[in-house]
Amino acid sequence: MASEISIHHRQIEDLLDKLKAKGLKEYQVAEKINVDPSTLSRIKKGKKKLTRPRRIALENLAFDYGIIPPWIKGKDFDIIASEEDVVKLPMISAEVPAGFPSLEEGTIIGHALTSRMMTGANERCYIVRVRGQSMEGFGIREGDYLIVDPELSYDPGRIVLAYVDDGIVCKKLVKGEDGWFLMPANDDYPPIRVKEDTRILGVVRSIIRRLV
């Protein structure tokens, strides 16, 4: 059974209002996160809690519409040791694997404060959100946030973001006998050969995950 988490129903109501302002009606939200409209209504009123899969689906939907869910703000990126430790990073609305070909072409929907010491982040980095299960074997799960450094050296064995065939993937960069490959950590996904038009967008420095 999927575990349930505690999110105040007014935060969900606030998110639904923001999605409505983007042209998405409540029944459409319910359809996209795979719940009955009546169930979503109960969640909004605080009569039922979100399961983790539905929370991730709702967060994915919010990011698709350029909205940071209110329960994320100030929660996931505030492990700060001192003022000198603070770094402010852009958060990109595009999801991994389907997203933007570069930071400049992406959409910055907000900024997050995080710790240099805890994450290895610097002013060059940006944050993207993971969608999919291809990297679960490396501990990268759907709904995680990746801190990506576009200027870090693309050494073999590092986890990278790459632009491949009009989409973004997060994979491990591996050098084989007959070339370079982007390797998943899930047998359901095939390796991807690095070609001339493959673009490495950055190296993943850290993963941020909310457990509850």
Annotated catalytic residue within 44, 93, 115, 171: 171
* 115 assigned to active site: no
β-strand 126-130 against 108-115: which pairing, if any? unpaired
β-strand 86-96 against 108-115: which pairing, if any? antiparallel
Instruction: In whole angstroms, give the CA distance from residue 195 to residue 138.
Output: 24
> What's the first-to-final CA gap in the chain, in angstroms?
15
DSSP 49: P
Annotated catalytic residue within 44, 93, 115, 134: 134
* 171 assigned to active site: yes
The answer to whether residues 209 and 5 touch, using CB atoms and an 8 Å cutoff, is no
* Residues recognised as catalytic: 134, 171
